[in-house]
Amino acid sequence: MIRNVIFCFTLVILFSVIVHVKPQVCYGMNHYDRCSKNTACGCLPTINTNQTAICGVLEVTCSKFIPCKPLTNECDQFGAVCVQHPRCNDLPVCYPLSMSDERLCPITRNWISTGSMKYSRYMHQAIVLVDGKILVMGGIDDKPIAHKTAELYDGSVGIWTATGNMTYARFGHTASTLKNGKILVAGGNGNGMYLNTAELYDPSTRTWTTTGNMSSTRFGHRASVLANGKVLVTGGDGRTQYLNTAELYDPSTETWTLTDSMKSPRYRHTATVLTNGKVLVTGGYADVYTNTAELYDPTTETWTTVAAMNKAISLHTASLLSNGKVLITGGITAVADTLKNALLFDPTTESWTSTSNMNHERHTHTASVLPTGEVLVIGGVYTTNTKGYSSTALNSAELYNPTTETWTSVSNMTTARGMHTAFVLVNGKALITGGRNNESLKSAEIY
């Protein structure tokens, strides 16, 4: 057995010289936990790197490793990283990254139920605070009653706690993290009353205070934090009409000012801050579904039209990739056709290209960019009118790899849900909260 392991060890080192390897990072796992479908692999804590651990082969004798430099814990060997290894009494040794290659140690990805929220809710908002906790606020339940309640999730212990209530109950609102660490909540629907109100959550005191009102009531709008610290709010349903207006919130004065209006009214669209600071707005609904897209330039405070998408959609997602492109997934069309299409927007050419389709059609889903650069698409709703109008919540999830432009199905959530929220925790795991299938949900789970 040992002879075979040594032989494999030699092969993977030779393999790493001629083939680029992709080490697998363990996010949120304990040291030496099993991390792969390959039971010979486990999480090895790294030293002097920004990675908490790598998933690598454990079944190798310590004599095959070279010790790290005593004072610096560094490695002279090319393609090696300093780790603690259980076979070496946790002493720092230089570990070949080839033994953490995804082909040797494919990461195990599973869903784990975590503590439930106190209240069931969907069409709520969730946001990461500066201390790493997740703040969930608002939403609506099956009664149907809008919530003013808010809760905090501590990922280090997996516990939910109540925090201060908002001044106004609301769902279909926005939540944005300001540069001072406070959370700005704006608009939404408060039990039949469309809102123009806004309020601030202070994580240090766990309290809410009202701030300046928007010029328009808005529901299903979008909010984007600009590089200058201001918050751009776009579109939405103003109750009497769909809006093309946009306004800016200035945290220093706590006031709103109108800015240039979009070319087209829209709600339930997407808004993405690009790496160049501009804001890309896509799709949405305003009496008709739209395929149009626009760019907002914060320096000139003006909108320009860019190339349209190939389909008119709403309730889709937009994700900023590490390469600067924007990935659009799913959505629903005017004929209640749910899509599995995916598109890429390139800011350098301001043009669209198709990428591979998802494995499942979905709308009102979520898409989260993981620390690996992959995009985790979760749940949502499948709607069809082929044999009468019907909607089904989904528990499926899949990963998009921007390098290969391919999708991979991962394990299903424990509960089907749409209109939920998803956020990546500081440990790299994704937290999914609430949503709705046949009923509103208070459950939460972690990927």
Query: 126 and 93 in one domain?
Result: no
Work out the angle at residue 391's Cα, subtended by the Cα atoms of residues 389 and 392, and round it to the nearest 5 degrees. Answer: 150
Query: 159 and 22 in one domain?
Result: no
Query: 187 and 65 in one domain?
Result: no
Can you tell me the distance from the alpha carbon of 256 to that of 247, in angstroms, rounded to the nearest whole number? 6
Q: Tokens standing for 239?
A: 């109750």
Query: 334 and 209 in one domain?
Result: yes
Q: Which of 78, 100, 122 is the last residue of a domain?
A: 100
Which residues, 6+ apart, have CB-to-CB distance to 50 below 8 Å? Answer: none
Q: Tokens standing for 35?
A: 């991390």
Query: 161 and 305 in one domain?
Result: yes
* Other C-beta atoms lying within 10 Å of the C-beta of residue 131: 11
Per-residue confidence (pLDDT) for residue 134, from 0 to 100: 97
Can you tell me the distance from the alpha carbon of 359 to that of 369, in angstroms, rounded to the nearest whole number? 18
Structural domain includes residue 139: yes
- Encode the chain (447 residues) as per-residue pLDDT tens digits: 333 333 343 334 333 333 445 667 776 567 788 788 788 888 888 887 655 688 898 878 888 899 999 888 899 888 899 998 888 887 899 999 888 887 888 877 789 889 899 999 999 999 999 999 999 999 999 999 999 999 999 988 889 999 999 999 999 999 999 999 999 999 999 999 999 999 999 999 999 999 999 999 999 999 999 999 999 999 999 999 999 999 999 999 999 999 999 999 999 999 999 999 999 999 999 999 999 999 999 999 999 999 999 999 999 999 999 999 999 999 999 988 999 999 999 999 999 999 999 999 999 999 999 999 999 999 999 998 765 568 999 999 999 999 999 999 999 999 999 999 999 998 888 999 999 999 999 999 999
Query: 125 and 164 in one domain?
Result: yes
Instruction: Give the total number of structural domains in the chain.
Output: 2
Q: What is the CATH number of the domain that holds 431?
A: 2.120.10.80
Structural domain includes residue 207: yes
Instruction: Fill in the DSSP letter of residue 14.
Output: H
Can you tell me the distance from the alpha carbon of 435 to that of 382, in angstroms, rounded to the nearest whole number? 14
Query: 330 and 371 in one domain?
Result: yes
Structural domain includes residue 427: yes
Q: How far apart are the first and last CA of the chain?
A: 35
Q: Which of 67, 100, 133 is the last residue of a domain?
A: 100
Query: 182 and 44 in one domain?
Result: no
Residue of 170, 192, 123 whose CA lies nearest to 417: 123
Can you tell me the distance from the alpha carbon of 147 to that of 160, in angstroms, rounded to the nearest whole number? 17
* Other C-beta atoms lying within 10 Å of the C-beta of residue 247: 22
Structural domain includes residue 105: no
Q: What is the DSSP string of 154-206?
A: ETTTTEEEEEPPPSS--BS-EEEE-TTS-EEEE--EETTEE---EEEEETTTT
Query: 233 and 379 in one domain?
Result: yes
3-state secondary structure (DSSP) of residue 15:
helix
Q: Which of 100, 120, 143 is the last residue of a domain?
A: 100
Query: 202 and 322 in one domain?
Result: yes
> Within 13 Å of residue 444, how many CA atoms lie on the same side as its CB?
28
* Owning domain of residue 370: 112-446
Structural domain includes residue 123: yes
Residue of 367, 435, 427 whose CA lies nearest to 128: 427
Structural domain includes residue 106: no
Query: 367 and 237 in one domain?
Result: yes
Query: 404 and 370 in one domain?
Result: yes
Q: Is the peptide bond prior to 144 cis by the omega test (within 30 degrees of 0)?
A: yes
Q: What is the DSSP string of 315-364?
A: S-EEEE-TTS-EEEE--B-TTS-B---EEEEETTTTEEEEEPPPSS--BS
